[in-house]
A and B are shown apart, each in its own frame.
Chain A
Amino acid sequence: MEKIVQQFRDLQPTLRKNEVWRHVDFAALLSDELQLPKGERQTAEYHCNIPNLDAVRMVTENGYCYQPTLQTDEGTLLAGFRDYCSQRPDLIRHYFGKCCPKANPYLDINTDHYTDGIFAFIPDNTHQQKPIQLQSVINAGHGLFLQTRNLVVVGRNSHVVILHCDDSYDNAPAFANNVTEIHVMEGAHVEYYKMQNLNNQTGLLNHTYVTMQQGASFRSVALTLNGGHIRNHTEIRMLGEHCEVEAHGLYLNDQEQQVDNYIFVDHAFPNCHSRELFKGILDDSAHGTFNGHVLVEDGAKKTEAYQSNKNILLTDKAHITTKPFLEIYNDDVKCSHGSTVGQLDEQALFYIRSRGISERTAMTMLSYAFCDEVLQQILLEPVRNSLIDLVKKRLHGELTPCSECSLHCSSPCNGPEVNFHIDPTKL
Chain B
Amino acid sequence: MSLLSIRNLHASIGDKEILKGVNLEINLGEVHSIMGPNGNGKSTLAGIIAGNTKYTVTEGEVIYKGKNILEMPVDVRACEGIFLGFQYPVEIPGVSITNFMRTAVNEQRKYRGLDPLSGAQFLKLMNEKKAIVEMTTNLANRSVNEGFSGGEKKKNEIFQMAMLDPTLAILDETDSGLDIDALRIVATGVNKLRRPDNATVVITHYQRLLDYIVPDFVHVLYEGRIVKTGPKELALELESRGYEWIKEELEKQA
* A347 contacts across to B, CB distance below 8 A: 90
Interface mask (B194-208 → A, CB under 8 Å = 1, otherwise 0) = 000000000000000
Q: Cα distance A97–B203 when bound, in Å?
A: 70
Question: Would A354 and B51 count as touching, CB distance under 8 A?
Answer: yes
8 A Cβ contacts from A340-381 to B: 345, 347-348, 350-359, 361-362, 365-366, 368-373
Cβ–Cβ < 8 Å partners of A366 in chain B: 92, 95
- Complex contact B92–A358 (CB within 8 A): no
State whether B74 touches A361 (Cβ < 8 A). no
User: Which partner residue on chain A sits nearest B160 by CB separation?
Assistant: A355
Chain A residues with Cβ under 8 A from B89's Cβ? 351
Within 8 Å CB of A369, what residues of B?
92-95, 143
* Contact, CB under 8 Å: B90 / A353: no
Q: Quick check: is B78 within 8 A (CB to CB) of the other chain?
A: yes
| Interface flag for B237 (CB, 8 Å) | no
Q: Does B246 contact A (CB under 8 A)?
A: no
Residues of B near A354 (CB, < 8 A) are: 50-51, 74-75, 78, 83-84, 86
**Nearest B residue to A347, CB-CB:** B90
- Chain B hits for A371, CB < 8 A: 94
- A353 pairs with B75, CB closer than 8 A: yes
Whether A353 lies near B74 (C-beta < 8 A) is yes
Residue of B with least CB distance to A346: B54
Residues of A contacting B78 in the complex (Cβ-Cβ under 8 angstroms): 353-357
- A140, chain B: closest CB distance, angstroms: 39
Q: How far is the CA of A355 from the CA of B92 in the complex (A)?
A: 14
Contact of B75 among A356, A365, A370 (CB under 8 A): A356
Q: Is the CB of A351 within 8 A of B93?
A: no
Chain A residues with CB under 8 A of B75: 353-359, 362
Q: Which of B56-107 contact A (CB under 8 A)?
A: 73-75, 78-79, 83-84, 86, 89-90, 92-95, 99-101, 103-104, 107
Q: Is B187 an interface residue (CB 8 A)?
A: no
- Distance from A371 Cβ to chain B, minimum over Cβ atoms (Å): 8
Contacting pair A353 B103 (CB below 8 A): no
B108 contacts the other chain (CB 8 A): yes
A370 touching B74, Cβ below 8 Å: no
Q: Inside 8 A of B84's CB, which chain A residues have their CB?
A: 354
Which B residue's beta carbon lies closest to that of A367? B94
A350-B92 CB under 8 A given contacts A356-B104, A356-B108, A365-B100? no
B111: interface (CB < 8 Å): yes
Roughly how many angstroms separate A370 CA and B92 CA in the complex, as a whole number? 9
Binary per-residue interface labels of chain B (44-56) against chain A in the complex, 1 for a CB within 8 Å, 0 otherwise: 0000001110000
| Contact of B73 with A357 in the complex, beta carbons under 8 Å | no
| B164 located at the interface, meaning its Cβ lies under 8 Å from any Cβ of chain A in the complex | yes
Which chain B residues lie closer than 8 Å to A345 at the CB level?
A: 90
Which residues in chain A, 298-348, are within 8 Å of chain B measured between CB atoms?
345, 347-348
Q: Are B73 and A348 in contact (CB under 8 A)?
A: no
Point out the residues of chain A lying under 8 angstroms from B79, CB to CB. 356
Task: Fill in one digit per residue for B93-134: 1 if any A CB lies within 8 Å of its CB, else 0.
Answer: 111000111011001100100000000000000000000000
New A-B pairs, 6, CB < 8 Å, besides A355-B164, A356-B78: A351-B90, A351-B144, A354-B78, A366-B92, A366-B95, A369-B143
Interface residues of B (CB under 8 A from A): 50-52, 73-75, 78-79, 83-84, 86, 89-90, 92-95, 99-101, 103-104, 107-108, 111, 143-144, 160, 164
The 4 A-B pairs with the shortest beta carbon distances in the complex, nearest first, are A369-B94, A372-B94, A356-B78, A355-B104
9 contacts between A and B (CB under 8 A): A345-B90, A348-B92, A351-B92, A351-B144, A352-B95, A355-B160, A365-B99, A366-B92, A372-B94
